[in-house]
Amino acid sequence: MKVLIVGANGKVGTLLSGKFWGANDFSPVALIRDSRQQTKFTGIGVPAITGDLESGVSEFLPGLDAVIFTAGSGSKTGPDKTTDVDQNAAIRLMDDCEKQSVRRFIMISAIGADPNSESDRIQHYLRAKGVADARLRSSRLDYTILAPGTLIDEKGTGRIQASEKLPHHGFLPREDLASAIVETLRNHLTIRKTIQLVSGSEKIKSALAAVVGGGDLPPIA
């Protein structure tokens, strides 16, 4: 499966690139904004392409089997940039995937994402993600929305708690999110599902399978 990692230079994207490189059922391509970042990926055997997500990257979509949206404006930017990247660029990419017949789309969202979020702390971010998620749910794409709790840089445990609606907010190591993305692509019962993730006690593959009612299925060709 040929997979484009959008936002590959971010923390999750970097971890994901490494995991895909070590898996024989995926052929990853890293989308980066700055050509100077290229050696970071080619050094581990992952080809990298340079493109501006906000302007559109439709020229890179032909021949792909899946797109993973891990991009984000980052915590140091203002609300306008959040809207530009987390909402508008994501929606533009969905539109382009539909036009180019790239059906599989994995969106990295967040617990609490909602177009009408009233969060005191990150309201604009959760609203932008919520708008993008809503557009994805209305699309013709074979999507999965993975909505983690607060992401942390600790080493992954390989164990999570997953549900379509968790009863609480929690934390999740970025490494475990990267592993969950890989297992999501391997299980086509995750298509058209929104899955919330936090640290837990169940192995990632099993936790995802429990949410969607099965697992151990071949990846989408």
Which positions are catalytic? 125
Residue 204 to residue 221: CA distance in whole angstroms = 22
Q: What angle do CA 48, 51, 52 make, to 5 degrees?
A: 145
Compute CA 87 distance to the chain's CA centroid, rounded to the nearest angstrom. 14
- Maximal C-alpha separation, the chain: 44
Q: Work out the burial of residue 127: count CB atoms within 10 Å of its CB; fewer than 13 is exposed, 13-18 middle, 19 or more buried.
A: buried
**What are the b/e assignments for 131-151, b being 16+ CB within 10 Å?**
bbbebbeebebbbbbbbbbeb
What contacts 114, CB < 8 A, 6 or more positions away?
126, 127, 130
**Phi and psi at residue 75, to the nearest 5°:** -75, -15
What is the number of other CB atoms lying within 10 angstroms of the CB of residue 106?
26
**What are the b/e assignments for 165-199, b being 16+ CB within 10 Å?**
ebeeebebbbbbbbbbbbbbbbbbbbbebbbbbbb
**Half-sphere exposure (CA, 13 Å, Cβ side) for 108?**
29
